[in-house]
Amino acid sequence: MTGDGRRLGDSRRRRTIGTPRSPAEKPVLQAIGLSRTYGRGETLVRAVDGIDLDVSAGQTLAVTGPSGCGKSTLLQLLGGLDRPTRGQVRLGGRRIDDLGERSLARLRRRATGFVFQDFQLMDELTAAENVELPALLAGASPRTARARATALLDRVGLDGRGRHLPSELSGGQRQRVAVARALVNEPLVVLADEPTGNLDSAATRDILRLFDELRAAGQTLVVVTHDERVAATADRVVSLRDGSLVDDTRLDGATAPLGALLSWEG
């Protein structure tokens, strides 16, 4: 059961394979026939194997599945951290998988925000400096970057901690800094890979609450997770097996018109 009374397995859950569309939902993020293989011949691994996926603006999507099924690979492809072997990724309607390195680096700074299981903060920078850095790299003035960092640290419940080094913060606090950093350039999408994987229950609850606030604020969010509690806070859950999408479930029936679901199931 989640905080607002929804439950995995709730009767409102509707199961469908594929990606239901409705004219009202404009995808902000799209995978089209997306594949990523590693190695060749006998050692070939199909980490992501022909995935079609639309994520609409404001949607929170959880990606689940067993270890090795391709979740991290998919997330890295969606965020421009890796390139597909086949297929396309579109962000904000624009194809990104074929961009040059410089354009891709720019896009990663401005249009996506990543959150990782191990936080990946810069140890020698303070919490505020960690949040400011991507803003400075994207061309914000030091003053603007500082103002945004202060506001975001406040928003994630860390006001007064801006001058602390990551080593002086708890795991949950470090992850909240990482979420603030992911938001600093107002990305089209936040992508998180097992963001609660290194956290205890109390810190996990803090991050869940934060994600819920992001959802309420209309932030598009893709979260890879093993944790049912995390998945249960999403609008939609997709499951992967061996690099393929095997299940696509709307937790909030209101966002998926039944007709669209039936036509895809038929």
Ligand X SMILES: Nc1ncnc2c1ncn2[C@@H]1O[C@H](COP(=O)(O)OP(=O)(O)OP(=O)(O)O)[C@@H](O)[C@H]1O
Binding site for Mg ion (CB under 5 A): 72
**Least distance between Mg ion and beta carbon 85 (Å):** 18
Which option in Mg ion, ligand X, none does residue 69 bind, with CB closer than 5 to 8 A by kind?
ligand X
> Nearest-5° angle of CA 228, CA 230, CA 232?
65
Which option in ligand X, Mg ion, none does residue 213 bind, with CB closer than 5 to 8 A by kind?
none
Q: Evaluate whether 189 touches 161 at the Cβ level (below 8 Å).
A: no
Q: Point out which span in 5-13, 62-70, 137-145, 201-209 binds ligand X (CB under 6 A).
A: 62-70
**Least distance between ligand X and beta carbon 37 (Å):** 9
Which option in Mg ion, ligand X, none does residue 38 bind, with CB closer than 5 to 8 A by kind?
ligand X
Which option in Mg ion, ligand X, none does residue 67 bind, with CB closer than 5 to 8 A by kind?
ligand X
Q: How many angstroms separate the CA atoms of 77 and 83, rounded?
A: 6
Q: Which listed residue (68, 142, 218, 259) binds ligand X by CB under 6 A? A: 68
Closest to ligand X by CB, 72 vs 185, is 72
**Least distance between ligand X and beta carbon 83 (Å):** 13
| 229-263 burial code (b ≥16 CB/10 A, e <16) | bbbbbbbbbbbbeebbbeebbbbeeebbbeebbee
β-pair partners for 31:
53, 89
Instruction: Assign residue 129 a region (left: φ > 0; alpha: ψ between -120 and 50; beta: otherwise).
Output: alpha
Q: Evaluate whether 184 touches 134 at the Cβ level (below 8 Å).
A: yes
Which option in ligand X, Mg ion, none does residue 45 bind, with CB closer than 5 to 8 A by kind?
ligand X
End-to-end, the C-alpha distance of the chain in Å comes to 31
Closest to ligand X by CB, 166 vs 243, is 243
> Where are the extended beta strands (E) located within 7-146?
14-16, 27-38, 45-56, 60-64, 86-91, 94-95, 112-116
Tell whether residue 72 is a contact of ligand X (CB under 6 A): yes
Contacts of ligand X in 121-150 (CB under 6 A): none
Tell whether residue 94 is a contact of ligand X (CB under 6 A): no
Closest to Mg ion by CB, 140 vs 224, is 224
Q: CB 183: neighbour CB atoms within 10 A?
A: 22
Tell whether residue 11 is a contact of ligand X (CB under 6 A): no
Which residues make up the interface to ligand X (CB under 6 A)? 38, 45, 47, 65, 67-73
